[in-house]
Structures are given as C-alpha cells and as structure tokens.
A and B are shown apart, each in its own frame.
Chain A
Amino acid sequence: MNFKHKYVFLFPGLFVLIGILIFPIVFTVRLSLSGWNSYNPELNFIGLDNYVRLFTEDPRFWEAFFRLTFLSVTTVILQYIIGFALALMVWRDIKFKRFFRVMFLIPMMTTPVIMTVIWRTFFHESLGPVNDLLSVFGVAPKWLTDPALAKITVIIVEVWQWTPFMFLLLLAGLLSLPKEPFLAAAIDGAGPIRKFVYVTFPLMAPISIGAIIIRLIEASKIMDTVFVLTSGGPGTSTETSTFYIFIRGLREFQMGYAATLSFTYLIIMIISLTIIAKVLTKLMIKD
C-alpha cells in the first residue's frame, strides 16, 4: 500500500487531540512554577516553591490521595465481584434474560450528578426512605454527616452507578468466549464451581484485567458524586485528590498551587496505573 496514505488517516485525529491538549499541559507545567492566585493573577516565576510546599507542608493532599485510593480500589473490587456475578447469571439460561440485562445496564446511562441529587434525598436523615425503613429497627444512621458512614454512602452510590459498566464489559467478554473448553469440561464431568475456577475464570482473565484497569481509571476521577453528595465533608472525610485540587484551584483561586497538585497527581496516576496493570497481568495470567 502506498506509504503516504496512512498519515492521512491518522493525522487529523492525532493533531486535533494534540492541538487541543498541548496548551493545557504545557500551561499547567508552567503555571505550577508560578504563584498565580487571586491577589496576584500573573505568571511570575517562583521556581519549585509550590512543589516544596506540596511535599513538606501539605498533608491534606496526601490524605486525600490515600482516601481516593481507598475509595476507588474498594468500589472497583465491589463492582468487579458484583458485575461478574451478574454477568454470569444472565449469561446463559435465565428467565426474562433480556429484561434483566437492560435493568443491569440502566444506571450507567444516567448522569451521575443528577442521580446523586436523588440519592441525597434518598439518604436524607429525617425525610429519606432509607432511614424511614430503618426506623423500624430504631436506628437512624447519619448517612451524609458521619465521617465513616459518608464514605460508605459514596461507595454505595458509586457501586450503583458504575457496576453496569463492569457488567457490560464482562458480559460482552463472556459472550465472546469459545464453546470448546466448556464442552471439554462438561465431558470431564466438572461441576459448576470447578468449571468456573478452571475454565471460565482463566479464559476471562485478560478481559477482567482490561475491565478493572478501565474502571480504575474512571473511578480515580470520582468527583461528581462527592461534589453533590457530601462536598468532601463532613470535614475532609470524603475529600478526594480531584476534589482537593478543585478547592485549591477554583474555590480559593490558588491556580499556581493547584497546577502543581494537578501535575503531581497526573504523574502519580500514570505511574501507579502502569504498575497496577503489570501486577494484575502477572497475577491473573499464570503463564
């Protein structure tokens, strides 16, 4: 094939993307070396002061980062287990198969912030249905204002919202599996559990890794839910990295420092996601 044609296909997309992104990325790096804030909105040069501040006197960022790690890892593990279970159940013979499949997909089609507004009324301490039903047992948990419970509420909403995505990826994977290994296992007289451990799960390993990584990437951006549900509160108990950057950058207008946080965060994310992908591949694919 003629050599030049391939560039005609690739370059429009590539250059549009680079064209849109080049300014924000270069600007973020430059901004992170400046002291741009609301009193002093200019691109002065203060060297690495912002980075020194981040690494020596800002435990709040690191706390937010660990909170983010905790929240996203927990939600993704829950989503994987539930999503895989749901996918296995509607994979083959079940009554109303297509009805259930549609039902399981619906939450991911809904706008997270809008549904979170509904969840907020759902978990309302005195006027929400959850506490109304729980009042039978004489308890009234503070779903949104108790530091520990608020995290659980965020996890519940995230699991509701995004398990469908995991379900979709895993079900699509299950449906594309070859039939032969299952026939062979059936001939060998393997029961459902052995079949899952020795056939389904290993065959699904590459798809599982892909799905988990995609979900981890998306989950690390968790923002909408926290923003509406708790606004990072009570205190900072549900504040994640992205939300902290938002507060510094667009509430307090410390643009320079927020850019430092953004850039550091991006580097950490890229490195850790690469490591996670490598480790998962090693763990789940034995040979």
Chain B
Amino acid sequence: MHKLYTFLKYSFVALWTMFVVAPFLWALSTSFKDFQSVTSKVTYIPWVDFKPTLEGWRVLVKSPARGGVDIIEPYFNSIFVTCAASAISIILGTLAAYALSRFTFKAGFVRNNDITFFFISQRIMPPIVLSIPFFIFLSTIGLLDSLLGLVVVYIVLLMPIAVWIMVDFFNRVPKELDETALIDGCNPYQAFYKVVLPNSIPGLIVAGMFCIIFGWIDFFFAFILTFTEVQLLPVKVVALNSSVTPWWSLSASALVSVAPLIIVAFIVERYLSKGNLSGALK
C-alpha cells in the first residue's frame, strides 16, 4: 500500500516535471535548427536528427539592417520599465500597506478593509478596459509610445500586488515593535524606517519579486501603447511570429527573454524553504 503510494507520487511528480520542461526542450532544440530541419519533418535531437547551426542565435545580435532581430534595445526597455514601475509601486505600496495595517481609517462607510480592497480590486480590471482610455489619454499628453507612459500604466498593474502582500506581512509583524520604538523617542517615520522596515525584508523581497514577475510578463499594455519608438521584449518576440515564421530565431529569442526570470524561481524557492514566504503570501 505504502509502496504503491510512493510509486504513484513519484510518477506524478516526474510526469508533471516533464510537462513543465517539454516546451523549453523543444524551443532549445528548435533554436539550433535551420529551414531544412524545421520544415522537412519533425526533428528532435541535434547531430542525430539534424545538423545544428547557430543561425537562430546569431540573428539576435545582428543589426536589423543586416536581417537581424535586434533584441538588445527591447531587452533594456523591458528591464527599465519593469524595474522603475516595480520600485515606485513597492515604495508607495509599502507605505500605504503600513498605514492600513497600523492605523484605523474611517471616512463615512469606508474602513481599512475597503481601502485595501480598493487597492487589490484594481487587478480585476483587464488590460483592454484600461488600454482604450489610456491610449487616448497618453496620446493627448504626448506620452504614447514612450517609456514614461508605460511606467505610469504599469504602476496600476503592480501597486495592488505590493499592497496585497505587504498588508498581510505587516499584520504579522508585532505591533509592540513600533510601540517600543515610539517609547524610545522615535517619531512614527523613524519607527517605520529604522525598526519596522529592517524587519520586513523578506516581505519586501517577495513583493518585489511578484512586481517584477507581473511587470516583466505583461504584453498587452506594451502591445497597444507602444509602436516603433519604444518596443518591449514580449512585443518584439511576438512580432517575429509573423507569416513566414523563422522558428529558430523565434525560439532563441524566446529562451533569451524568459531566462532572467527563471533565476527568480530559485530565489522564491529559497524563501519558501526557509519559511519566510508562508507569512508573506497567506
């Protein structure tokens, strides 16, 4: 009975792992193919099934004028927009979360929970609903097709996440901590900055990670609110998926674009195993 259970458990885990890695392996293999080995028949293993070339990867660093994809600029654009929007969201979101966790607000029928809900409920808004008015709004103030415009929009996307994680986290940081600091003669800002914040690093890291994930993976806002001046990575990669699809450079650029965040998976796992995440995500 027990042996059967263990066997089933390991087979399920192994099967799911295979499902998880399958598209990556396929993309990796495809990225070394050329026209011949993509279109003649389905091939898998380099050297056995087909002769690998580096063409798909070389295209990534070539300039567009010479038939390249030029993924480098979109890469830095993506990094900039994600980091800027995440940083602003984390700072503002953490302050708001601290207020919502420590003080009571009362305005008419609005209570703390309602304010928290207001923040988090912004996630319900699908990108398309916002992107139509934003499209008109940003074109009026001349920020369409610019990095700044995207950062503004991404704040709406990311601040709810920061508030959601940090409110729960601050609720678990003992109140006595700030009270002691206040008795010791700190003002509320010093108490927050010198005592509460240093004790909230795990929460901040988790919130930051989530902001970075959800900023990095956004496609739709970038797709609608930018055209030629500024391109973000996902838009650039999807643009490759046109009529005559060069699967090899498509696969190579896809792998390059998802690679940095896979490191995040390792960091999240580390916090999970140390038990720091359980509080932050509950």
Q: Which residues of A contact B (CB under 8 A)?
A: 1-2, 5-10, 12-14, 16-17, 20-21, 23-25, 27-28, 31, 82, 85-86, 89-90, 94, 98, 100-115, 117-122, 127-129, 131-132, 160, 168-169, 171-173, 175-176, 192, 207, 210, 214, 217-218, 220-221, 223-224, 227-228, 241-243, 245-246, 249-250, 255, 258-259, 262-263, 265-266, 269-270, 273
Contacts and interface: CB of A to CB of B under 8 A. Distances in A.
Contacts of B128: 223, 242-243, 245-246, 249-250, 262
Contacts of B231: none
B261 A118 contact: no
Interface residues of B, number: 96
Contacts of B237: 111, 113-114, 117
B103 A1 contact: yes
Interface of A is mostly: helix
B137 A103 contact: no
Contact of A21 (B16, B95, B126, B156): B156
B250 A117 contact: yes
B98 interface: yes
B4 interface: no
Interface stretch (B21-29, B50-58, B60-68): B21-29
B156 A176 contact: no
A260 to B, nearest CB: 11
Interface string B2-31: 000100011011001101111100110010
Contacts of B103: 1, 5-6, 9-10
Contacts of B273: 98, 101
A228 B241 contact: yes
Contacts of A110: 217, 258, 261-262
A118 B96 contact: no
B132 interface: yes
